[in-house]
Amino acid sequence: MTTASAISAGERAAERPAHRDGNVLRWLAAYTASMMGDNVYYLALSWAAIRAGSPAQAGVVMAVGALPRALLMLGGGVIADRLGPRRVVIGSDAVRCVAVLAVAALLWLASPGLWLLALLALVFGTVDAVFMPAVGALPARVTSRDQLARVQGMRGLAIRFASVVGAPLGGLGVALGGAAAAFGCAGLLIAVSLPLLLSVRIRDLPQDDTADAADRTPWRDLVAGLRYIRRHRVLGPLMLAIAFGDLGFVAPLNVGLALLADQRGWGASGMGWVLAGFGTGAGAASLLLAVRGRLPHAGHVAAYMILAGSVAIGALAFVPSVVAAASVAVLIGLLVGLSGALCGALLQTQTDPAYLGRVTAVGGLISLGFAPLSMPLSAAAIGAWGTGPVFVVSAAVCGLGGVVALAAPRLRRAELPH
């Protein structure tokens, strides 16, 4: 793509909102199909692992996929920035598609056992370490800066849709043809994203951002990306706010909620209603941002939403019934979903596009690598002190994210572009 055509594409995108831009909609359709494939894949993998071995062995298989994703995520951000996010996303999706379909075929013909599932998890997790930073860097190349907040909301809706539709599709595949059919469904969904991605036009970076790329090593690129975040007056505190928010949010809404439902006698159905409430609130937050396109005083709003969401998280441990818990969960989803969408939009709009892969990789490492480490600690703490104190402490940690955002002047005053 020439510079002139890239500028022309950017100008055309700027003339209409993202939800009316065919280029953005093709990207969104590709992203949705890929995320649906992910949801089906994880259900199929867990089901096949449990059927082929013990629960402990199934846990090992799932961990085999998570480990390379966490260890290699930063390197994946470097690759996304050096090669370009579109090329990396297409290549990653192609590898994921081939790997999943190959395992589906092998499971259909034979019963190779846990080693095949562990190998698939390893390949998928390794490719995900490159895929996820590239996915985060791609929106800035398909639309203009003033539409990135709306795209962030549209992306949130796609994630909710994929999780709602993907799990039943995976369950249907397992019911009709076992794990092989579910893996086949996942591979086909990922395959749908490939022609859509190939049709997406992207904007090139300015020449002065990429001219010296050949003179840099991957290690220097990684160090430069980390230094860029640390020195940035908005991104540095924003990453810290995201870290505190995720650390305080992940454990209560995962392992903490399961233990709370068990203690209160709500059962699995009660836990499902609470999770549905959270999903409803988070979906409403994404819809709000997708429709409005931006919210004024984004830094202030994100900080106060984090603080209010932390109070709601702490209150969840003290509600007396499933109905009250589901209502609080709707509020948590709305507040945390809106703050998360605004933080994501600020990350997209404040970052130089040349660094977006690496910046996204750091954010992904915080959310998918560090934050889940709090879950076993929270489970042990709940066993020792009960749900109430642990939820309150988690809420305080989450609230620190809002305090950090308010204490950083540039982040507090940050605005989304018009």
pLDDT tens for each residue of 67-100 = 888 899 999 999 999 999 999 999 999 999 999 9
Q: Is the pLDDT of residue 208 over 60?
A: no
* Whether residues 295 and 401 fall in one domain: yes
User: Do the domain assignments include residue 417?
Assistant: no
Task: Report the CATH number that the domain containing residue 71 is assigned in CATH.
Answer: 1.20.1250.20
Q: Where are the alpha helices (DSSP H) in 110-147?
A: 114-137, 139-142
Predicted local confidence at residue 135, as pLDDT:
92
User: Do the domain assignments include residue 211?
Assistant: no
Predicted local confidence at residue 213, as pLDDT:
53
* Whether residues 223 and 287 fall in one domain: yes
* Whether residues 196 and 279 fall in one domain: no
How far apart are alpha carbons 142 and 151 in whole angstroms?
A: 10
Q: End of a domain among 204, 236, 265?
A: 204
Weakest-pLDDT range from 119-133, 141-155, 206-220, 338-352: 206-220
* Whether residues 154 and 243 fall in one domain: no
* Whether residues 226 and 370 fall in one domain: yes
Number of domains in the chain: 2
Let me know if 219 is exposed, middle or buried by CB neighbors in 10 A (0-12, 13-18, 19+): exposed
The tens digit of pLDDT for each residue in 369-387 reads 777 777 778 888 888 898 8
Q: End of a domain among 156, 181, 204?
A: 204
Residue 392 corresponds to which tokens in the numbers above?
């309150």
Is 65 in contact with 125 (CB distance < 8 Å)? yes
Q: End of a domain among 178, 204, 230?
A: 204
User: Do the domain assignments include residue 210?
Assistant: no
| Residue 138 structural domain | 3-204
The tens digit of pLDDT for each residue in 291-348 reads 988 889 999 999 999 999 999 999 999 998 999 999 999 999 999 999 999 999 999 9
Neighbours of 287 (CB within 10 A): 16
Predicted local confidence at residue 332, as pLDDT:
95
Confidence of residue 214 (pLDDT cuts 50, 70, 90): low
The tens digit of pLDDT for each residue in 271-298 reads 889 989 999 999 999 999 999 888 899 9
Q: What number is the average pLDDT over the span 393-400?
A: 95
Nearest C-alpha neighbor of 203 from the set 293, 134, 155, 139: 139
Confidence of residue 252 (pLDDT cuts 50, 70, 90): confident
Name residue, tokens 């010296």. 212
* Whether residues 200 and 222 fall in one domain: no
The tens digit of pLDDT for each residue in 179-198 reads 999 999 999 999 999 999 99
* Whether residues 320 and 199 fall in one domain: no
User: Do the domain assignments include residue 157?
Assistant: yes
Confidence of residue 206 (pLDDT cuts 50, 70, 90): low
* Whether residues 296 and 377 fall in one domain: yes
User: Do the domain assignments include residue 213?
Assistant: no
* Whether residues 235 and 278 fall in one domain: yes
- Chain-wide mean pLDDT for the chain? 88
For the entire predicted model, the pTM comes to: 0.87
User: Distance between alpha carbon 336 and the CA centroid of its chain, in Å?
Assistant: 14
* Whether residues 25 and 174 fall in one domain: yes
* Whether residues 310 and 264 fall in one domain: yes
Q: Is the pLDDT of residue 103 over 70?
A: yes
First to last CA, the chain: 27
Residue 10 corresponds to which tokens in the numbers above?
């950017």
* Whether residues 235 and 197 fall in one domain: no
Q: Count of alpha carbons within 13 Å of 83, Cβ hemisphere only? A: 19
